[in-house]
Structure 1
Amino acid sequence: MADVIVVFPNKDNAINIRNILTRGGCEVIGVCTTGAQVLHYTELLDEGIVVCGYKLADMLYTELREYLPKEFEMLLVASPEKWQGDNMEGVVGLNMPIKVYDLLNTMNMMLQAMDRRRRKRKKERPQRDPKQQKLIKDAKELLMARNNMTEEEAHRYLQKCSMDSGNNIVETAEMVLSIMSE
């Protein structure tokens, strides 16, 4: 689940929003009053959502959005005239006065979207270059010839050795080739 940082110039407002989100099941890791504090938190995290007002003690939300890493999204809580013309990427707006139901539903929607993107990124396997593919193919062929394995068995063997040793499959294929070629 993504981490949530709440930032408002008024600390009491930030604490109230944090309490609402926490009761709604969100994990709020920080309550801030300045954009600089938010940026400090983002250095420690991989991704998350920043819930903020239009104007912070040290910057506007537009500046904060520019400084945030691309893995972070922003939920802006402000009156419509403050943000409706700004179509910034990664910013979702929520109208003031805020309703608990709307806040929780919007946060859940954003968290689900982040979760879907995270799963999609995990599914995308890194592409191997032809040299790496040839190493794996050669190791499988050697295993098939020496140990009377099918291609699937040889591939599973390389995967298992890779996981057991903590190396990637290319390094494992190199090891198999160096050991069995002797």
Structure 2
Amino acid sequence: MINVIVAFPKIENAKSIKNILVRSGFHVDAAVTTGAQALQYANSLDGGILVCSPRFVDMMYTELHEYIPATFQMLLVASPDICNEHEVADIMCLSMPLKVHELIQTVETMSYTITRMRKKRRTEPKVRSEEEKRMLQDAKELLMVRNNMSEEEAHRYIQKRSMDNGTGLIETAQMILSLMHA
């Protein structure tokens, strides 16, 4: 599920856009009136979409875009003039007057993009620190010496224990090292 925050200076506008999105099946986490409130919610969530106006009492959309987490995408709802000249390249823009079907299609497209990016991040191999690599290698070497295993067998043994116990590879290597050194 994609998190959505709606931020407009007038709460009536924020609530009406929130209602449109909710009726279309989106979960809206907050409808707020200031940039600071939008940032507060954005920092507490794991990415999503920020639907907002160009101006707030406390900041402009460019400042808001600068401060929101990188896992958030911004959908700016503004006059055609602002949409044509907005400076930031990765901001989607819908011009006023807002058409409901355009809003829904744009949010659906952005949701799809965010979902694909999340899946891609999950499939990327985890980068291990030098200390973690050393610990994993030490655990394999200990298994190789004590249990007369090849490096491949030792690695598979750590992987299997990791999966069986529901722990990470490094945590399992730590357990093996602490148990065999005791």
RMSD: 2.6
Match of 1:47 in 2: 47
Q: Hey, what's the Cα distance between the residues in 2 that align with 1:152 and 1:105?
A: 50
Q: What are the Cα deviations for residues 65-114 of structure 1, in whole angstroms up to 9, with x where unaligned?
A: 12212221110011121132223144100111111111011001101111
- Aligned pairs for 1:1-182 (under 5 A) are 1-129=1-129, 132-133=132-133, 135-137=135-137, 139-140=139-140, 143=143, 154-165=154-165, 167-180=167-180
Q: Hey, what's the Cα distance between the residues in 1 that align with 2:66 and 2:133?
A: 40
Are the structure 2 counterparts of residues 12 and 129 from structure 1 closer, same or farther at C-alpha, using a change threshold of 3 Å? Answer: closer
**Identity score, percent:** 49
Q: Hey, what's the Cα distance between the residues in 2 that align with 1:116 and 1:48?
A: 12
Q: Hey, what's the Cα distance between the residues in 2 that align with 1:130 and 1:78?
A: 49
Query: Which shifted more, 76-85 or 129-138?
Result: 129-138
Could you list the runs of 5+ residues in structure 1 that have no partner in the other structure?
none
Are the structure 2 counterparts of residues 88 and 175 from structure 1 closer, same or farther at C-alpha, using a change threshold of 3 Å? Answer: same
Are the structure 2 counterparts of residues 29 and 178 from structure 1 closer, same or farther at C-alpha, using a change threshold of 3 Å? Answer: closer
TM-score normalised by length of structure 2: 0.83
Q: Hey, what's the Cα distance between the residues in 2 that align with 1:157 and 1:20?
A: 53
Is residue 83–residue 95 contact of structure 2 (8 Å, CA) maintained in 1? no
Q: How many residues align?
A: 182
Q: Report the CA distance between 1:134 and its aligned residue.
A: 5.2
Q: Report the CA distance between 1:64 and its aligned residue.
A: 1.5
Query: Which shifted more, 27-36 or 58-67?
Result: 58-67
- Aligned partner of residue 157 in structure 2, secondary structure: helix
Is residue 8–residue 32 contact of structure 1 (8 Å, CA) maintained in 2? yes
Q: Hey, what's the Cα distance between the residues in 1 that align with 2:41 and 2:171?
A: 36
Q: Hey, what's the Cα distance between the residues in 2 that align with 1:75 and 1:142?
A: 54
- Aligned partner of residue 84 in structure 1, secondary structure: helix
Q: Report the CA distance between 1:165 and its aligned residue.
A: 4.5
Are the structure 2 counterparts of residues 25 and 153 from structure 1 closer, same or farther at C-alpha, using a change threshold of 3 Å? Answer: farther
Question: Which amino acid is 1:175 matched to?
Answer: M
